[in-house]
Structure 1
Amino acid sequence: MSQTKKKIHYAWWLLVGLAIMVGLAKGGIMTAGGLFLTPVTEDLGIGMGSLTLYFSISSIVTMLFLPIAGKIMAKYDIRVVLISAIILQAGSFAMFGLMNSVWGWYLFCIPMSIGSIFVTQMAGPVLINNWFKKHNGLAMGIMVASGGIFGAILQPMAGNLISNEGWRTTYITLGLVVMAIVIPIVLLTIRMAPQQKGLQPYGALEGDKMDKNPAQTVTNRGVTASVAKKSSAFYSLLIFFFFITAISSFGQHVAPFAMGLGYDVKFAGSAMGGWQIGVLIGALSFGVLSDKIGAKNTAIFAMLLGLVPVGILLLVPENALMFNLAIGIYGFVVASLGTLGPLLTTALFGNKEYSQIYASAVIGLAVAGIVALPGYGYIFEITGSYTYVLYAIVTMLILNVIAIVFAFKGKKKLENAGLWN
């Protein structure tokens, strides 16, 4: 019996595998994209708005493919799905290094975004909800924090590699390294459900082994997807996803913002490393805070805190120390997207049909990408600065506080109507 208690639940090994996969895919590929914008536009003579349009195409593909992604994950072996997805994502990213025209980014961002849906958006929240009934917030925080850990290492490395070897070599190197590490990790650690290992979810029962009596297995509570999608809580959550994604999207523009102020690509890489350290600390903090004070209060705190770095960037962006501090705090705040987005979904609608509800809600994420990422690029191209972008971010942070309050009022309506059970 003592040996059983000492044994580490497999959920934690799965979390390690998820953390490495998500960390490399986000920190090594997705958030590194901004470092390439200025070198590519200068080398190939492409406008910033025209190049960042590929982010918009990626978001359109994400929005269209999300409903299909949920069905694919439910139907096929999760390991086959994730291996295929990382090949699409990292392989397409590597192909950018061979392109000479902006059309190459427009073309290869399509398979890259399809792969990214599974690896960076869907797999983590769905698997953690399957495997963790206890410390769900902490597990989500650890997974999101992994992007900060890997990003803090890889972003400065990528900045130096771009400076020393060029953007082409850096694209190819990052893509191949991510594939080489993630594929064996997926094979060794990822499983869709605890039942595949003869276990209950972590924290579901006193013992880890599956009980042979089905009546004693854990039941999920909440609302159905059809009910959720008609509720004011759902539309408020959709708005939250839209604005927090638009706020987070500024990360892709930190490097051109820095270089527009006179900093070089190495400094931009270091600043993005600070962003990732902020993500690391924020993800862990928000996970623990949500377990302690709830997802609602934690999300409101995160949005209000976001006003601090934006204020610094508006007032003293030329001060290198303050710039780095602001970017670090900004990274801390945007960790709320990966951590609090899934936790808010669970808090509002439960686990009954979580994957369907979450897949629908994150369409707000895709729509924001369509608008914000190229929009920021065109604003910079037209005005020569990011000042108006920063003012827009202040507005979105405030609107998100309002959206959170309305979302939980909507949940109360569902409970009062007897639809939350």
Structure 2
Amino acid sequence: MSKRFSFHYAWIVLIVTFFTLIVAAGVRSMPGILIVPLEKEFGWDRSAISFAISVNLLLYGLVGPFAAGLMNRFGVKRIMVFALGLLISGILLTTIMRTNWQLVVLWGVMVGFGSGMAALVLGATVVNRWFVSHRGLLMGILTASTATGQIIFLPFLASLTEQEGWRNAVYAVASILGILLPTVFFLMKDSPKQSGLLPYGAKSEEEGILPVSGNPFTEAINALKVGLRSRNFWLLAGSFFVCGASTNGLVGTHLVPACSDHGIPEVRAAGLLALMGIFDLIGTVGSGWLSDRVNNKILLFMYYGLRGISLLLLPQAFDPESNKLSIFAVFYGLDWIATVPPTVALTAKIFGREKVGLMFGWVVAFHQIGAAVAAFGAGYIRTVQGEYDLAFIFAGALCVITALGIFAVSTEKEEAKLSETPEFAS
């Protein structure tokens, strides 16, 4: 076989990473399904349950930059195996919990840490370490794994919860994680160099990105110091704060219980999230393809603007006899996490591809801070007002403002500053 058509191990690494992200997405999709059953069984109010979910979402984001440093120091495979083990332990122990603080510790802390290590930072690290060509498209594919996880898990878990109880849904997810863990252990590789390869598409050693071997916590803190001095970082992090608030925190966590408030069964509501996942898969892969070809700021302007309009109109869509929610699911699904590929591309352009895992990790941290704020805030609004309308309208307005603000990002200026930044010196 000619060299041109020889198989590259980067594709195995990509596939293993994709399935890891799918299953991690399945774990993260569960809170929306569990809110109502936990209310019924334990008598906890929605704001109390939402607090545990907000802790989960917050830690999911904050662990990202440290996970990137740990991957650089100890290897991607070891961190993936540790993350999967933590997820299995955390979700299994929830089946024997009795108090709300246990939900916070198990689902909030343990699952939050585990899912944060198997998230978008993992995808960004793998793509930028193993590939030189098609990075935007491949980042789009890995990002779309979240959508695929929703498609696969949400209807199944909602149906299982309804028919067999929420504990059996948890056991099912733990079993899948148990199958995935040895797969990662035997097939995952840390870097092309470990296999005696160049990154896919590289023509010389210089094009490859070598893992950094410094202290992972120092690396993460230094990356944050660089970010806090950067106007562009604040703009990207701020936009991702709104992205997390309007997706994972609000719609991902509260759409199912909001549908329940309007007499729409949980299985049908979970089906709407799965429908979003189908179109998110299309939208995010398409966004990855576009991010290699179109001005990334224009893409982000379109994504946030359209998302904001759809959220402003959402309170009028909760009619069990109409198709408005299905239309919302299609429209919102195309836009769900389409923001990720252009944001990764801008982060890489501003801070350099060798640092993209660390810097994007902090951008994702703000994404999850936004998600945590919205998860708790929307639950609180629902507890106080008895409905979610104000939460949807406020999130929609923030998206519209973010769409306009994204044009303030300036990549050319930032690159000049970073060349003199001691923390990021080669």
TM beyond 0.5: yes
| TM-score, normalised via structure 1 length | 0.89
d(CA) in 2 for partners of 1:329 and 1:219? 37
1:227-281 Cα offsets, whole Å, 9 max, x none, are 5541210111110111101011221111001101101111122112112112211
Structure 1: gaps spanning 5 or more residues: 206-210
Structure 2: gaps spanning 5 or more residues: 211-221
| Aligned residue number for residue 240 of structure 1 | 239
d(CA) in 2 for partners of 1:4 and 1:412? 38
Aligned to 2:7, the other structure's residue is in SS state coil
| 8 Å CA contact 2:350, 2:414 repeated in 1 | no
Select the residue among 346, 364, 367 that pairs with 1:365.
Answer: 367
Select the residue among 182, 185, 188 that pairs with 1:184.
Answer: 182
d(CA) in 2 for partners of 1:185 and 1:151? 21
d(CA) in 1 for partners of 2:48 and 2:403? 33
d(CA) in 2 for partners of 1:388 and 1:42? 25
| Aligned residue number for residue 257 of structure 2 | 256
d(CA) in 2 for partners of 1:399 and 1:21? 34
d(CA) in 2 for partners of 1:316 and 1:252? 18
d(CA) in 1 for partners of 2:101 and 2:347? 37
| Aligned residue number for residue 327 of structure 1 | 329
Aligned to 1:133, the other structure's residue is in SS state coil
| Aligned residue number for residue 54 of structure 2 | 56
The CA deviation at 1:373 is 0.8
> Which one-letter code corresponds to 2:310 in the other structure?
P
| Aligned residue number for residue 122 of structure 1 | 121
| 8 Å CA contact 2:131, 2:199 repeated in 1 | yes
| Distance change >3 Å, CA 140–CA 378, structure 1 → 2 | same
d(CA) in 2 for partners of 1:389 and 1:217? 46
Identity of aligned residues (%): 23
d(CA) in 2 for partners of 1:64 and 1:308? 29
| Aligned residue number for residue 414 of structure 1 | 414
d(CA) in 2 for partners of 1:59 and 1:25? 13
> Which one-letter code corresponds to 2:6 in the other structure?
K
The CA deviation at 1:326 is 0.7
d(CA) in 1 for partners of 2:281 and 2:61? 27
| Aligned residue number for residue 208 of structure 1 | none
1:196-228 Cα offsets, whole Å, 9 max, x none, are 1222222222xxxxx5xx5x55479xxx94555
- Aligned pairs for 1:305-316 within 5 A: 305-316=306-317
| Distance change >3 Å, CA 377–CA 418, structure 1 → 2 | closer
d(CA) in 2 for partners of 1:25 and 1:33? 13
> Which one-letter code corresponds to 1:293 in the other structure?
V
> Which one-letter code corresponds to 1:194 in the other structure?
P
d(CA) in 2 for partners of 1:364 and 1:371? 10
| Distance change >3 Å, CA 102–CA 259, structure 1 → 2 | same
| Distance change >3 Å, CA 266–CA 231, structure 1 → 2 | same
The CA deviation at 1:195 is 1.2
| Distance change >3 Å, CA 87–CA 328, structure 1 → 2 | farther
| Aligned residue number for residue 110 of structure 2 | 111
d(CA) in 2 for partners of 1:95 and 1:168? 10
| Aligned residue number for residue 171 of structure 1 | 170
1:304-353 Cα offsets, whole Å, 9 max, x none, are 22134324422232144221221232232122254344233113322142
| 8 Å CA contact 2:275, 2:329 repeated in 1 | yes
| Aligned residue number for residue 72 of structure 1 | 70
> Which one-letter code corresponds to 1:242 in the other structure?
F
Task: Say which is worse superposed, 47-56 or 71-80, in terms of deviation.
Answer: 71-80
d(CA) in 1 for partners of 2:81 and 2:102? 23
Task: Say which is worse superposed, 243-252 or 322-331, in terms of deviation.
Answer: 322-331
| Distance change >3 Å, CA 398–CA 330, structure 1 → 2 | same
d(CA) in 1 for partners of 2:28 and 2:370? 16
- Aligned pairs for 1:127-166 within 5 A: 127-166=126-165
The CA deviation at 1:41 is 0.9
Aligned to 1:335, the other structure's residue is in SS state coil
d(CA) in 1 for partners of 2:166 and 2:13? 34
| Aligned residue number for residue 292 of structure 1 | 293
> Which one-letter code corresponds to 1:256 in the other structure?
P
Aligned to 1:336, the other structure's residue is in SS state coil
d(CA) in 2 for partners of 1:187 and 1:294? 39
| 8 Å CA contact 1:309, 1:327 repeated in 2 | no
Q: CA RMSD in A?
A: 2.3
| Distance change >3 Å, CA 395–CA 323, structure 1 → 2 | same
Aligned to 1:263, the other structure's residue is in SS state coil
d(CA) in 1 for partners of 2:163 and 2:132? 47
- Aligned pairs for 1:81-92 within 5 A: 81-92=79-90
Q: What is the aligned residue count? A: 405
Query: Within the alignment, does 1:388 sit opposite 2:386 as a pair?
Result: no
d(CA) in 2 for partners of 1:77 and 1:33? 30
d(CA) in 2 for partners of 1:382 and 1:5? 63
| Aligned residue number for residue 4 of structure 1 | 3
| Distance change >3 Å, CA 395–CA 312, structure 1 → 2 | closer
> Which one-letter code corresponds to 2:412 in the other structure?
K
Task: Say which is worse superposed, 352-361 or 125-134, in terms of deviation.
Answer: 352-361
| Distance change >3 Å, CA 189–CA 337, structure 1 → 2 | farther
| Distance change >3 Å, CA 76–CA 402, structure 1 → 2 | same
1:94-133 Cα offsets, whole Å, 9 max, x none, are 3223223222211102111111111113211111111122
| Aligned residue number for residue 215 of structure 2 | none
d(CA) in 2 for partners of 1:78 and 1:203? 21
